[in-house]
Amino acid sequence: MALIVLFIKHILREYCIMNMIKGIDALRMMHDVSKLPDGCFTISFFPYSRANASASSELITKKGCKVRPQLPEERWSIDSDNYFLFLDGEGKHQTCYRALIRYVGFPNDNFELHKINWYDN
């Protein structure tokens, strides 16, 4: 456990420049922190409605989240790698498009939100 915490601190120092973090690093850190017994993260994303084929303009923030596995009854017509599956602080199953995740916060820096950079510019 201590090794995972040290790894997360290293990644944040290495990649969080001006409160930004690379998307792939954010996903890896969310998975790693979820393995800890009391580990959780905060996530902010734009919800997407497939029925309306549009993303909401309102950013939603969920606290106390943990990554979760795909349930057997969850089947999609598009590649499941496009989705990010998690449990919110209330234990409810949540799903969002990975590309629409905008901010993430981790416990080692008091859940300060870091902007996610999905493109290596």
For 74-87, what is the mean pLDDT? 74
pLDDT digits (tens, 9 = 90+) for 5-51: 666 666 555 544 458 899 999 999 999 999 999 999 999 999 987 77
* Model pLDDT, residue 16: 46
Instruction: Give one DSSP letter per residue of 52-81, joined into a string.
Output: TTEE-SS-EEEEEEEE-PPPTT---SS-GG
Give dist(CA 48, CA 26) in Å, integer: 20
**Domains of the chain by residue range:** 2-117
Residue range 90-117: mean pLDDT, rounded: 92
Name the pTM for this structure.
0.77
Q: Residue 52 has what pLDDT?
A: 74
**In this predicted structure, what is the pLDDT of residue 1?**
61
Bigger pLDDT: 15 vs 70: 70
